[in-house]
Structure 1
Amino acid sequence: MTPVHAAKAALRRPLFRLGMIIAGVALILDQLTKLWVLHGIRLPYRFQRKIEISGIFDLTYTENRGVSFGLFAGGMSSRVLLSLLSIIVSGFIIRWLMTIQRPVTAAGAGLILGGAIGNLIDRVFYGYVVDFLDFSGLGFPYIFNVADAAINVGVALLLFDALWLERKGKAKDQAGL
């Protein structure tokens, strides 16, 4: 089957469409919130790059040049390497979405895909990822964005599916239900 035929067949699969729609929503929300932070409230240009909202949550602008939570930050070589890694991971997730059999798995994969592409767009256009969600009032030391949240929720859904739903399905099969 050619890649074009495989893509057409995938588009007819409801779970592939579900995953892609969720990816699109996560991507759009991520990019809209980043545009709002950069150009709406102009957070990078405010004193201390911060807006205090409450005792537990603030908007704090940071430029993340690494992966999630600033890990592996570096110069141009890490930017290119992380961008290529995002493209490769996104390709694998799209390919995997073509075979997914459960809605929770499709939702998790879609969230990871949307978040990965959202952060990829930042890395390509800005050279860093725009982060601004600050829950340090809860003791959480990292500043993140909607894409990071989507990726983490997506991973949690995949773990839930693998550890709970898949096991539950196998138990039903063994019981003959």
Structure 2
Amino acid sequence: MKKPLLIVILVLVVDQVLKIWVKTHMSSGQDYNISDLMGVGDWFILHFTENKGMAFGLEWGGRTGKLVLSVFRIVAVGVIGWYLLSRIRKGANPGFIISISLIFAGALGNIIDSAFYGLIFSASDYLTVATLFPKGGGYDSFLFGSVVDMLYFPIIDTRWPAWFPVWANQQFIFFRPVFNIADSAITIGILTILFFQRKHFDL
């Protein structure tokens, strides 16, 4: 029980500390080229963006969709948390428990943004850095906060050759989506289940 709890706490702390720092120190769209500062190229950038939707900036259904998504996230986290506890009590494989712990922590991290960031932060724009606990109140209501994303890894940044059909001379970037620590935890948890824990799907 200690290891899953430690994983959840660690992911949440790192995720929220980084998000709060970005929100209170960077304006929307601002970049910090971390890899360039380290003298190792342009492949690791802190790029501040916010989204009202799912992981990696995907959106759906406007304001109504946002409410549905926020409620779904809360229900999903409850189900994942219950499932995690049931696997721990039944002595499931430690690797499987770690994977579920990562998924649970990541989902909970993004719920915190959706549920509370609209209440505790002022709005971010391209000229203004947000304030934590502004006097006039936050930029939106409960469950309508935007998820903070900042991790950008354009490992490959090139152009398709002129002879290539459809995308000739167009820019090609891999990996293009901007994401956060919570997204990473969810992705790692899912991938480790798929590649290393398939025998536990019938638990």
What band does the TM-score fall into relative to the shorter chain? 0.7 to 0.9
Name 1:85's counterpart in structure 2. Answer: 72
SS in structure 2 opposite 1:60?
strand
- Measured after TM superposition, the shift of residue 74 of structure 1 is 4.2
Q: Which amino acid aligns with 1:128?
A: S
Output the amino acid matched with 1:43: M
Of 109-118 and 153-162, deviating more is: 153-162
Q: 1:111 to 1:128 in 2, by over 3 A?
A: same
Q: Which blocks of at least 5 consecutive residues in structure 1 are unaligned?
A: 1-13, 168-177
Query: Is the counterpart of residue 130 in structure 1 residue 117 in structure 2?
Result: no
* Count of residue pairs the alignment pairs up: 146
TM (normalized to structure 2)?
A: 0.66
Corresponding position of 1:174: none
2:148 match: secondary structure = strand
1:33 corresponds to which residue? 18
Q: Is the 8 A contact 1:64 1:73 kept in 2?
A: no
Letter in 2 for 1:31: Q
> How far 1:128 sits from its partner (Å)?
1.0
Please name the residue that 1:8 is paired with: none
CA apart distance, 1:136: 1.8
**Aligned residue for 1:20?**
5
Contact 1:115 1:148 in 2 (8 A): yes
**Does 2:100 correspond to 1:109?**
yes
CA contact (8 A) 1:108 1:154 kept: yes
Contact 1:23 1:112 in 2 (8 A): no
Instruction: Please name the residue that 1:7 is paired with.
Output: none
Query: In the alignment, what sits opposite 1:50?
Result: 31
| Counterpart-to-counterpart distance in 1, 2:95 and 2:182 | 18
User: Higher helix share goes to which structure?
Assistant: 1
Letter in 2 for 1:44: S
Displaced runs of 4+ in structure 1, greater than 3 A? none
State the identity %. Answer: 36
Alignment partner, residue 122 of structure 2? none
Q: State the TM-score, normalizing by the size of structure 1.
A: 0.75
